[in-house]
Amino acid sequence: MSQSTTVQGKVQDKVQGKILIVEDEEIIRSSLRRLLERQGYSVTETGSVYEAEDSLLKDDSYDLIISDLRLPGKPGTEMINLAGTIPVLIMTSYASLNSAVSTMKQGAVDYIAKPFDHAEMLERVAEAIKKKDTLAQDISENQNGTTDVKQAALSSDAGFSGILGQCDGMNLLFRQIQKVAPTDATVLIQGESGTGKELVARALHENSRRAKGPMISVNCAAIPETLIESELFGHEKGSFTGANAARTGLIEAANGGTLFLDEIGELPLEAQARLLRVLQEGEIRRVGSVQSQSVDVRLIAATHRNLKQLSSQNEFREDLYYRLKVVELRIPPLRERGGDILMLAERLLEKTCKKMDLEVFSLAPETMAAMSQYQWPGNVREMEHAIERAVILSEDNIITPEHLDIEVRVKQVLFRTDAEESQDGLTLEDYFQRFVLEHQDQMTETELAQKLGISRKTLWERRQRLGIPRKKTTT
Protein backbone atom coordinates (compact mmCIF):
# COMPACT_ATOMS: atom_id res chain seq x y z
CA MET A 1 0.00 0.00 0.00
CA SER A 2 1.42 3.38 -1.00
CA GLN A 3 2.42 5.67 1.84
CA SER A 4 2.17 8.81 -0.28
CA THR A 5 -0.04 11.58 1.02
CA THR A 6 -1.04 14.73 -0.76
CA VAL A 7 -1.44 17.86 1.35
CA GLN A 8 -3.20 20.79 -0.22
CA GLY A 9 -2.50 24.39 0.72
CA LYS A 10 -5.03 25.99 3.04
CA VAL A 11 -5.83 28.66 0.51
CA GLN A 12 -5.73 27.37 -3.06
CA ASP A 13 -5.22 30.73 -4.71
CA LYS A 14 -2.04 31.25 -2.68
CA VAL A 15 -0.38 27.96 -3.67
CA GLN A 16 3.20 28.71 -4.73
CA GLY A 17 3.66 25.45 -6.63
CA LYS A 18 3.26 21.67 -6.43
CA ILE A 19 6.19 19.69 -5.05
CA LEU A 20 6.86 15.95 -4.85
CA ILE A 21 9.18 14.82 -2.03
CA VAL A 22 11.01 11.49 -2.33
CA GLU A 23 12.70 10.69 1.01
CA ASP A 24 12.74 7.43 2.95
CA GLU A 25 13.46 8.97 6.37
CA GLU A 26 10.05 9.91 7.74
CA ILE A 27 11.33 12.58 10.14
CA ILE A 28 13.16 14.46 7.38
CA ARG A 29 10.27 13.98 4.95
CA SER A 30 7.66 15.32 7.40
CA SER A 31 9.85 18.22 8.47
CA LEU A 32 10.43 19.24 4.86
CA ARG A 33 6.73 18.94 4.07
CA ARG A 34 5.79 21.24 6.97
CA LEU A 35 8.47 23.75 5.97
CA LEU A 36 7.18 23.91 2.39
CA GLU A 37 3.51 24.01 3.37
CA ARG A 38 4.13 27.03 5.59
CA GLN A 39 5.35 28.83 2.46
CA GLY A 40 2.19 27.98 0.53
CA TYR A 41 3.41 25.00 -1.48
CA SER A 42 1.19 21.98 -2.18
CA VAL A 43 3.20 18.90 -1.19
CA THR A 44 3.06 15.19 -1.94
CA GLU A 45 5.46 13.01 0.05
CA THR A 46 6.69 9.53 -0.87
CA GLY A 47 9.26 7.15 0.59
CA SER A 48 10.77 5.55 -2.52
CA VAL A 49 11.18 5.86 -6.28
CA TYR A 50 8.43 3.26 -6.75
CA GLU A 51 5.91 5.34 -4.78
CA ALA A 52 7.02 8.48 -6.58
CA GLU A 53 6.56 6.80 -9.96
CA ASP A 54 3.03 5.88 -8.95
CA SER A 55 2.34 9.50 -7.95
CA LEU A 56 3.69 10.80 -11.27
CA LEU A 57 1.41 8.41 -13.20
CA LYS A 58 -1.58 9.86 -11.35
CA ASP A 59 -0.45 13.49 -11.59
CA ASP A 60 2.42 14.84 -13.70
CA SER A 61 1.74 18.54 -13.04
CA TYR A 62 4.40 18.98 -10.36
CA ASP A 63 6.58 22.09 -10.45
CA LEU A 64 9.51 20.44 -8.65
CA ILE A 65 10.71 17.07 -7.34
CA ILE A 66 12.94 17.00 -4.25
CA SER A 67 14.63 13.62 -3.95
CA ASP A 68 17.19 12.10 -1.61
CA LEU A 69 20.14 10.56 -3.43
CA ARG A 70 20.20 7.33 -1.43
CA LEU A 71 16.84 5.53 -1.39
CA PRO A 72 15.76 1.92 -0.83
CA GLY A 73 15.48 0.02 -4.12
CA LYS A 74 16.21 2.40 -6.97
CA PRO A 75 18.49 5.42 -6.26
CA GLY A 76 17.28 9.00 -6.36
CA THR A 77 18.96 9.55 -9.73
CA GLU A 78 16.13 7.50 -11.26
CA MET A 79 13.83 10.45 -10.57
CA ILE A 80 15.71 12.48 -13.19
CA ASN A 81 14.69 9.97 -15.86
CA LEU A 82 11.11 9.79 -14.60
CA ALA A 83 10.66 13.54 -14.18
CA GLY A 84 10.47 14.51 -17.83
CA THR A 85 10.37 18.34 -17.88
CA ILE A 86 9.93 18.61 -14.10
CA PRO A 87 13.12 19.91 -12.42
CA VAL A 88 14.73 17.64 -9.81
CA LEU A 89 16.54 18.93 -6.71
CA ILE A 90 18.84 16.32 -5.15
CA MET A 91 19.43 16.07 -1.38
CA THR A 92 22.59 14.38 -0.14
CA SER A 93 24.88 14.08 2.86
CA TYR A 94 28.33 15.67 2.68
CA ALA A 95 29.93 12.21 2.46
CA SER A 96 28.22 11.60 -0.89
CA LEU A 97 28.40 15.19 -2.15
CA ASN A 98 30.66 14.13 -5.01
CA SER A 99 28.01 11.71 -6.27
CA ALA A 100 25.37 14.42 -6.03
CA VAL A 101 27.16 16.97 -8.19
CA SER A 102 27.76 14.34 -10.84
CA THR A 103 23.98 13.86 -11.07
CA MET A 104 23.74 17.41 -12.39
CA LYS A 105 25.34 16.12 -15.57
CA GLN A 106 22.37 13.77 -15.86
CA GLY A 107 19.92 16.66 -15.59
CA ALA A 108 19.36 17.54 -11.92
CA VAL A 109 18.59 21.25 -11.57
CA ASP A 110 20.49 21.64 -8.28
CA TYR A 111 21.67 19.84 -5.15
CA ILE A 112 21.70 20.62 -1.44
CA ALA A 113 23.68 18.97 1.36
CA LYS A 114 21.99 17.51 4.45
CA PRO A 115 21.40 18.62 7.10
CA PHE A 116 20.14 21.63 5.17
CA ASP A 117 19.42 25.13 6.40
CA HIS A 118 15.70 25.94 6.10
CA ALA A 119 16.29 29.33 4.51
CA GLU A 120 18.71 27.82 1.98
CA MET A 121 16.25 25.06 1.09
CA LEU A 122 13.44 27.56 0.49
CA GLU A 123 15.74 29.69 -1.64
CA ARG A 124 16.83 26.70 -3.76
CA VAL A 125 13.20 25.59 -4.19
CA ALA A 126 12.07 29.06 -5.26
CA GLU A 127 14.96 29.36 -7.73
CA ALA A 128 14.27 25.94 -9.26
CA ILE A 129 10.57 26.69 -9.78
CA LYS A 130 11.36 30.15 -11.12
CA LYS A 131 13.78 28.66 -13.67
CA LYS A 132 11.09 26.20 -14.79
CA ASP A 133 8.52 28.98 -15.22
CA THR A 134 10.99 31.27 -16.99
CA LEU A 135 12.07 28.52 -19.38
CA ALA A 136 8.47 27.66 -20.23
CA GLN A 137 7.64 31.31 -20.85
CA ASP A 138 10.72 31.87 -22.99
CA ILE A 139 10.02 28.79 -25.10
CA SER A 140 6.42 29.91 -25.62
CA GLU A 141 7.39 33.45 -26.55
CA ASN A 142 10.18 32.25 -28.83
CA GLN A 143 7.78 29.97 -30.66
CA ASN A 144 5.41 32.89 -31.17
CA GLY A 145 8.27 35.02 -32.44
CA THR A 146 7.36 37.88 -30.07
CA THR A 147 10.41 38.08 -27.84
CA ASP A 148 14.16 38.01 -28.06
CA VAL A 149 14.52 35.15 -25.57
CA LYS A 150 18.12 35.74 -24.63
CA GLN A 151 17.64 39.46 -24.08
CA ALA A 152 14.51 38.84 -22.01
CA ALA A 153 16.42 36.42 -19.81
CA LEU A 154 19.30 38.83 -19.28
CA SER A 155 17.58 42.12 -18.51
CA SER A 156 15.56 43.53 -15.63
CA ASP A 157 14.47 46.96 -14.45
CA ALA A 158 16.99 47.15 -11.62
CA GLY A 159 19.83 44.87 -12.61
CA PHE A 160 21.03 41.99 -14.71
CA SER A 161 20.46 38.25 -14.62
CA GLY A 162 19.25 38.26 -11.01
CA ILE A 163 21.91 40.70 -9.74
CA LEU A 164 20.46 43.99 -8.49
CA GLY A 165 22.23 47.25 -9.25
CA GLN A 166 21.86 50.53 -11.11
CA CYS A 167 25.02 52.47 -10.24
CA ASP A 168 27.78 53.11 -12.80
CA GLY A 169 30.07 50.46 -11.31
CA MET A 170 27.41 47.75 -11.53
CA ASN A 171 26.30 48.77 -15.02
CA LEU A 172 29.92 48.43 -16.15
CA LEU A 173 30.05 44.98 -14.55
CA PHE A 174 26.83 43.94 -16.33
CA ARG A 175 28.24 45.02 -19.70
CA GLN A 176 31.42 43.06 -19.04
CA ILE A 177 29.44 39.93 -18.10
CA GLN A 178 27.44 40.19 -21.32
CA LYS A 179 30.64 40.33 -23.36
CA VAL A 180 32.59 37.55 -21.65
CA ALA A 181 29.76 35.11 -20.82
CA PRO A 182 29.38 33.65 -24.34
CA THR A 183 33.12 32.88 -24.53
CA ASP A 184 35.09 30.12 -22.82
CA ALA A 185 37.58 32.59 -21.33
CA THR A 186 38.80 31.96 -17.79
CA VAL A 187 37.48 34.69 -15.48
CA LEU A 188 38.83 36.01 -12.18
CA ILE A 189 36.23 37.79 -10.04
CA GLN A 190 37.62 40.27 -7.53
CA GLY A 191 35.43 41.49 -4.71
CA GLU A 192 35.19 41.86 -0.97
CA SER A 193 33.39 39.26 1.12
CA GLY A 194 29.64 39.55 0.79
CA THR A 195 29.57 41.40 -2.54
CA GLY A 196 27.99 38.52 -4.48
CA LYS A 197 30.86 36.85 -6.31
CA GLU A 198 28.96 33.58 -6.73
CA LEU A 199 26.00 35.48 -8.24
CA VAL A 200 28.35 36.90 -10.88
CA ALA A 201 29.77 33.43 -11.56
CA ARG A 202 26.27 32.02 -11.95
CA ALA A 203 25.34 34.84 -14.35
CA LEU A 204 28.40 34.00 -16.46
CA HIS A 205 27.41 30.32 -16.53
CA GLU A 206 23.71 30.83 -17.24
CA ASN A 207 24.42 33.20 -20.13
CA SER A 208 27.04 30.94 -21.72
CA ARG A 209 26.82 28.09 -24.20
CA ARG A 210 27.40 25.80 -21.21
CA ALA A 211 24.17 26.82 -19.48
CA LYS A 212 22.65 23.35 -19.91
CA GLY A 213 25.72 21.74 -18.34
CA PRO A 214 26.50 21.61 -14.61
CA MET A 215 27.87 24.49 -12.59
CA ILE A 216 29.91 23.15 -9.68
CA SER A 217 30.70 25.66 -6.92
CA VAL A 218 33.59 24.97 -4.55
CA ASN A 219 34.66 27.11 -1.59
CA CYS A 220 38.39 26.42 -1.39
CA ALA A 221 38.55 27.81 2.15
CA ALA A 222 35.91 25.38 3.43
CA ILE A 223 37.67 22.12 2.46
CA PRO A 224 40.48 20.82 4.70
CA GLU A 225 43.91 21.11 3.06
CA THR A 226 44.43 17.34 3.35
CA LEU A 227 41.28 16.66 1.32
CA ILE A 228 41.36 19.44 -1.28
CA GLU A 229 43.22 17.50 -3.98
CA SER A 230 41.04 14.44 -3.57
CA GLU A 231 37.88 16.57 -3.68
CA LEU A 232 38.92 18.49 -6.79
CA PHE A 233 40.72 15.80 -8.80
CA GLY A 234 39.27 12.57 -7.39
CA HIS A 235 41.27 9.53 -6.27
CA GLU A 236 41.78 5.87 -7.00
CA LYS A 237 41.00 3.07 -4.60
CA GLY A 238 43.83 2.54 -2.10
CA SER A 239 45.66 5.74 -3.04
CA PHE A 240 45.72 6.79 0.63
CA THR A 241 44.43 5.61 4.00
CA GLY A 242 40.64 5.62 3.93
CA ALA A 243 40.37 5.55 0.12
CA ASN A 244 38.22 2.43 0.11
CA ALA A 245 36.79 3.13 -3.35
CA ALA A 246 37.61 5.21 -6.42
CA ARG A 247 36.02 8.65 -6.42
CA THR A 248 35.23 11.19 -9.13
CA GLY A 249 36.58 14.69 -8.47
CA LEU A 250 34.58 17.90 -8.66
CA ILE A 251 36.47 19.06 -11.76
CA GLU A 252 35.51 15.88 -13.56
CA ALA A 253 31.92 16.29 -12.35
CA ALA A 254 31.86 19.75 -13.98
CA ASN A 255 32.81 18.30 -17.38
CA GLY A 256 30.83 20.09 -20.09
CA GLY A 257 29.96 22.90 -17.72
CA THR A 258 31.50 25.45 -15.38
CA LEU A 259 33.70 25.06 -12.31
CA PHE A 260 33.53 27.97 -9.86
CA LEU A 261 36.39 28.10 -7.35
CA ASP A 262 35.56 30.63 -4.66
CA GLU A 263 38.35 31.97 -2.43
CA ILE A 264 40.97 30.50 -4.75
CA GLY A 265 43.67 32.37 -2.81
CA GLU A 266 43.29 29.69 -0.11
CA LEU A 267 44.22 26.86 -2.49
CA PRO A 268 47.42 25.03 -1.37
CA LEU A 269 50.44 25.30 -3.69
CA GLU A 270 50.37 21.61 -4.67
CA ALA A 271 46.74 21.87 -5.71
CA GLN A 272 47.59 25.06 -7.63
CA ALA A 273 50.13 23.12 -9.70
CA ARG A 274 47.53 20.48 -10.54
CA LEU A 275 44.98 23.17 -11.45
CA LEU A 276 47.49 24.85 -13.76
CA ARG A 277 47.74 21.56 -15.69
CA VAL A 278 43.98 21.54 -16.14
CA LEU A 279 44.10 25.04 -17.62
CA GLN A 280 47.10 24.35 -19.85
CA GLU A 281 46.39 20.82 -21.03
CA GLY A 282 42.68 20.29 -20.40
CA GLU A 283 43.55 17.14 -18.45
CA ILE A 284 43.23 15.84 -14.91
CA ARG A 285 44.90 12.98 -13.09
CA ARG A 286 43.21 11.43 -10.06
CA VAL A 287 45.23 11.09 -6.88
CA GLY A 288 47.00 7.73 -7.05
CA SER A 289 46.52 7.33 -10.80
CA VAL A 290 49.19 7.26 -13.53
CA GLN A 291 46.71 7.98 -16.30
CA SER A 292 45.35 11.37 -17.35
CA GLN A 293 41.94 12.03 -18.80
CA SER A 294 40.59 14.97 -20.78
CA VAL A 295 38.02 17.36 -19.33
CA ASP A 296 36.06 20.18 -20.93
CA VAL A 297 35.56 22.67 -18.11
CA ARG A 298 35.35 26.44 -18.02
CA LEU A 299 37.01 27.84 -14.91
CA ILE A 300 35.71 30.86 -13.02
CA ALA A 301 37.67 31.84 -9.90
CA ALA A 302 36.95 34.41 -7.21
CA THR A 303 38.87 35.95 -4.34
CA HIS A 304 38.84 38.90 -1.95
CA ARG A 305 42.63 38.73 -1.65
CA ASN A 306 45.35 40.37 -3.74
CA LEU A 307 46.69 37.44 -5.76
CA LYS A 308 49.45 39.51 -7.32
CA GLN A 309 50.78 40.39 -3.89
CA LEU A 310 50.45 36.76 -2.75
CA SER A 311 52.45 35.62 -5.79
CA SER A 312 55.22 38.10 -4.98
CA GLN A 313 55.34 36.52 -1.50
CA ASN A 314 55.50 33.01 -3.02
CA GLU A 315 52.11 32.16 -1.50
CA PHE A 316 50.39 31.87 -4.87
CA ARG A 317 51.82 30.62 -8.17
CA GLU A 318 52.53 33.54 -10.49
CA ASP A 319 51.97 31.44 -13.62
CA LEU A 320 48.57 30.36 -12.32
CA TYR A 321 47.67 33.96 -11.47
CA TYR A 322 48.26 35.09 -15.06
CA ARG A 323 46.35 32.09 -16.42
CA LEU A 324 43.38 32.99 -14.21
CA LYS A 325 43.15 36.67 -15.04
CA VAL A 326 42.44 36.32 -18.75
CA VAL A 327 39.39 38.44 -17.90
CA GLU A 328 39.21 40.18 -14.54
CA LEU A 329 35.87 41.43 -13.20
CA ARG A 330 35.61 43.71 -10.18
CA ILE A 331 32.48 43.89 -8.02
CA PRO A 332 32.27 47.29 -6.30
CA PRO A 333 31.77 47.18 -2.52
CA LEU A 334 28.39 48.34 -1.27
CA ARG A 335 29.78 51.60 0.16
CA GLU A 336 30.70 52.68 -3.39
CA ARG A 337 27.28 51.98 -4.89
CA GLY A 338 25.41 55.17 -3.93
CA GLY A 339 21.68 54.90 -4.58
CA ASP A 340 21.89 51.11 -4.90
CA ILE A 341 22.07 50.93 -1.11
CA LEU A 342 18.46 51.98 -0.49
CA MET A 343 17.19 50.09 -3.53
CA LEU A 344 18.82 46.90 -2.24
CA ALA A 345 17.58 47.56 1.29
CA GLU A 346 13.98 47.81 0.11
CA ARG A 347 14.24 44.67 -2.03
CA LEU A 348 15.84 42.69 0.82
CA LEU A 349 13.23 44.01 3.26
CA GLU A 350 10.45 42.91 0.92
CA LYS A 351 12.06 39.49 0.49
CA THR A 352 12.55 39.01 4.25
CA CYS A 353 8.98 39.99 5.11
CA LYS A 354 7.62 37.67 2.45
CA LYS A 355 9.76 34.81 3.78
CA MET A 356 8.36 35.41 7.28
CA ASP A 357 4.80 35.75 5.93
CA LEU A 358 4.52 39.36 7.11
CA GLU A 359 3.23 42.54 5.52
CA VAL A 360 6.09 44.51 4.00
CA PHE A 361 7.76 46.77 6.57
CA SER A 362 8.99 50.31 5.91
CA LEU A 363 12.28 52.08 6.60
CA ALA A 364 12.06 55.16 8.81
CA PRO A 365 13.73 58.30 7.37
CA GLU A 366 16.56 58.17 9.89
CA THR A 367 17.08 54.50 8.95
CA MET A 368 17.44 55.41 5.29
CA ALA A 369 19.96 58.08 6.23
CA ALA A 370 21.86 55.68 8.47
CA MET A 371 22.00 52.98 5.83
CA SER A 372 23.26 55.48 3.24
CA GLN A 373 26.04 56.70 5.54
CA TYR A 374 27.11 53.33 6.94
CA GLN A 375 30.22 51.76 5.35
CA TRP A 376 28.84 48.17 5.20
CA PRO A 377 32.14 46.28 5.69
CA GLY A 378 30.27 42.99 5.17
CA ASN A 379 28.56 44.36 2.04
CA VAL A 380 25.25 42.91 0.79
CA ARG A 381 25.49 39.85 3.03
CA GLU A 382 25.79 42.08 6.11
CA MET A 383 22.82 44.16 4.96
CA GLU A 384 20.71 41.04 4.46
CA HIS A 385 21.47 39.81 7.97
CA ALA A 386 20.89 43.27 9.48
CA ILE A 387 17.48 43.56 7.83
CA GLU A 388 16.45 40.07 8.91
CA ARG A 389 17.44 40.95 12.49
CA ALA A 390 15.50 44.22 12.28
CA VAL A 391 12.31 42.53 11.07
CA ILE A 392 12.50 40.01 13.91
CA LEU A 393 13.07 42.66 16.60
CA SER A 394 10.73 45.39 15.32
CA GLU A 395 7.57 45.86 17.39
CA ASP A 396 5.68 47.47 14.52
CA ASN A 397 6.13 47.67 10.76
CA ILE A 398 8.70 50.48 10.73
CA ILE A 399 12.44 49.72 10.87
CA THR A 400 14.58 52.11 12.94
CA PRO A 401 18.41 52.30 13.11
CA GLU A 402 18.33 50.64 16.53
CA HIS A 403 16.73 47.56 14.97
CA LEU A 404 19.55 47.32 12.42
CA ASP A 405 22.27 47.64 15.07
CA ILE A 406 24.60 49.62 12.81
CA GLU A 407 26.89 52.20 14.38
CA VAL A 408 25.92 55.41 12.61
CA ARG A 409 24.79 58.56 14.36
CA VAL A 410 22.37 60.46 12.18
CA LYS A 411 19.27 61.05 14.28
CA GLN A 412 20.61 64.21 15.87
CA VAL A 413 21.37 65.74 12.48
CA LEU A 414 18.29 64.49 10.64
CA PHE A 415 16.57 67.86 10.82
CA ARG A 416 19.07 70.68 10.54
CA THR A 417 18.85 74.37 9.83
CA ASP A 418 18.04 75.64 6.37
CA ALA A 419 21.57 77.07 6.09
CA GLU A 420 23.13 73.68 6.84
CA GLU A 421 20.88 71.89 4.39
CA SER A 422 21.53 74.41 1.64
CA GLN A 423 25.19 73.36 1.79
CA ASP A 424 24.65 69.59 1.81
CA GLY A 425 21.54 69.33 -0.36
CA LEU A 426 18.11 68.00 0.54
CA THR A 427 18.91 64.31 0.85
CA LEU A 428 17.51 63.97 4.35
CA GLU A 429 14.49 66.07 3.44
CA ASP A 430 13.84 63.56 0.66
CA TYR A 431 13.66 60.85 3.33
CA PHE A 432 11.22 62.99 5.34
CA GLN A 433 8.96 63.60 2.34
CA ARG A 434 8.97 59.96 1.35
CA PHE A 435 8.18 58.75 4.86
CA VAL A 436 5.27 61.17 5.32
CA LEU A 437 3.71 60.34 1.96
CA GLU A 438 3.98 56.61 2.62
CA HIS A 439 2.51 56.67 6.14
CA GLN A 440 0.17 59.62 6.51
CA ASP A 441 -2.86 57.56 5.47
CA GLN A 442 -2.28 55.08 8.30
CA MET A 443 -0.88 57.36 11.05
CA THR A 444 -2.07 60.45 12.86
CA GLU A 445 0.00 63.66 12.88
CA THR A 446 1.06 62.89 16.46
CA GLU A 447 2.23 59.39 15.49
CA LEU A 448 4.07 60.73 12.46
CA ALA A 449 5.87 63.33 14.56
CA GLN A 450 6.82 60.75 17.19
CA LYS A 451 8.26 58.39 14.58
CA LEU A 452 10.22 61.24 13.02
CA GLY A 453 11.49 62.45 16.41
CA ILE A 454 10.11 65.98 15.99
CA SER A 455 7.24 68.07 17.33
CA ARG A 456 3.87 68.46 15.62
CA LYS A 457 4.76 72.13 14.96
CA THR A 458 8.00 71.15 13.19
CA LEU A 459 6.08 68.53 11.19
CA TRP A 460 3.59 71.20 10.09
CA GLU A 461 6.39 73.61 9.14
CA ARG A 462 8.14 70.95 7.10
CA ARG A 463 4.89 70.10 5.32
CA GLN A 464 4.43 73.75 4.40
CA ARG A 465 7.96 74.20 3.12
CA LEU A 466 7.94 70.97 1.06
CA GLY A 467 4.38 71.38 -0.19
CA ILE A 468 3.07 68.15 1.36
CA PRO A 469 -0.64 68.62 2.13
CA ARG A 470 -2.12 67.04 5.21
CA LYS A 471 -4.49 64.17 4.67
CA LYS A 472 -8.15 65.06 4.74
CA THR A 473 -9.94 64.02 7.92
CA THR A 474 -13.40 62.46 7.75
CA THR A 475 -16.16 63.41 10.13
What's the average pLDDT block by block, 10 residues per block, for the chain (475 residues)? 40 69 90 92 92 87 90 85 85 58 67 79 87 56 41 50 87 91 94 94 94 91 83 76 74 92 92 90 82 90 93 93 92 91 90 90 84 89 92 87 70 41 49 77 79 73 76 51
| Strands, E assignment, 155-250 | 155-156, 159-160, 163-164, 187-190, 215-219
Q: Is the dihedral of CA 152, 127, 104, 21 positive or negative?
A: negative
- What pLDDT, on the 0 to 100 scale, is given for residue 287? 79
- What pLDDT, on the 0 to 100 scale, is given for residue 33? 93
Beta bridge partners of 301: 188, 261
Whether 248 and 293 have beta carbons less than 8 Å apart is answered as: no
- What pLDDT, on the 0 to 100 scale, is given for residue 117? 79
The amino acid at residue 390 is A
Q: What angle do CA 96, 102, 106 make, to 5 degrees?
A: 130
Which element (helix H / strand E) includes 7?
A: strand 5-7
The percent helix, strand, coil of the chain (3-state, each to 5) is 50, 15, 35
The amino acid at residue 277 is R
- What pLDDT, on the 0 to 100 scale, is given for residue 363? 87
Helix (H, G, I), strand (E, B) or coil at 193: coil
Which element (helix H / strand E) includes 125?
A: helix 118-144
Q: pTM surpassing 0.85? A: no
CA 288 – CA 277 distance, rounded (Å): 16
Whether 314 and 262 have beta carbons less than 8 Å apart is answered as: no
Whether 254 and 100 have beta carbons less than 8 Å apart is answered as: no
- What pLDDT, on the 0 to 100 scale, is given for residue 95? 41
Which element (helix H / strand E) includes 300?
A: strand 298-303
Sorted by where each starts, the structural domains of the chain and their CATH numbers stand as 5-139 (3.40.50.2300), 153-332 (3.40.50.300), 339-466 (1.10.8.60)
First-last CA distance in the chain: 66
Whether 365 and 452 have beta carbons less than 8 Å apart is answered as: yes
Q: What angle do CA 102, 106, 107 make, to 5 degrees?
A: 110
Per-residue burial over 381-420, b if 16 or more Cβ lie within 10 Å, else e, is ebbbbbbbebbeebeeebbbbebbebebebbeebbeeeee
Q: Of 421, 333, 408, 422, whose CA–CA distance to 368 is shortest?
A: 408
Q: Of 149, 174, 152, whose CA–CA distance to 164 is shortest?
A: 174
Q: What angle do CA 357, 367, 379 make, to 5 degrees?
A: 80
- What pLDDT, on the 0 to 100 scale, is given for residue 104? 63
